Amino acid sequence: MADNPDKINPIVVGREGEYYFLYDGEYKWSLQPDRDGDDWWLYYYPGPEELQSMARMDPIEFDGRVEFVAFSTKELKAKEANDSFRALYNVIKEKQVGVDRILDAVIRGKRLTC
């Protein structure tokens, strides 16, 4: 996913550094570091819930209400997984604040209007 950042849109900021996003116009995901920042959690959501509503939910509301599949670098135990999840997180965070558009404008020598 990090290699195809144009397919990541929209992005919704959730709680505690979690980013919810749609990939390729249809697949709902979220990504966040764990509390100590050493590991990463990537979630896939196959159900009908909207990104906005999931981002606003308390963790207790998720239990039994939102279907998901979780992937963790704790379970994958490969340095490459940690690097991949961190790279994806950076791509998402940069897109969320518009760094990708700014860098494109800088490269093209154009000025962005707000």
Give me the residue label for tokens 């239990």.
Answer: 63
Q: Prior bond to 46 cis, omega within 30?
A: no
Residue 72 within a domain = yes
pTM for this model (two decimals)? 0.85
User: What is the extent of the structural domain holding 22?
Assistant: 5-108
Q: How confident is the model at residue 112 (pLDDT cuts 50, 70, 90)?
A: low
* pLDDT for position 93: 92
Q: For residues 105 and 89, give the distance between their C-alpha atoms in angstroms, rounded to a whole number.
A: 22
Residue 93 within a domain = yes
Residue 113 within a domain = no
Question: pLDDT digits over 68-93, tens only?
Answer: 999 999 888 777 888 999 999 999 99
Residue 114 within a domain = no
Structural domain tally of the chain? 1
Taking the alpha carbons of 57, 62, 68, 72 in that order, is the dihedral positive or negative?
Answer: positive
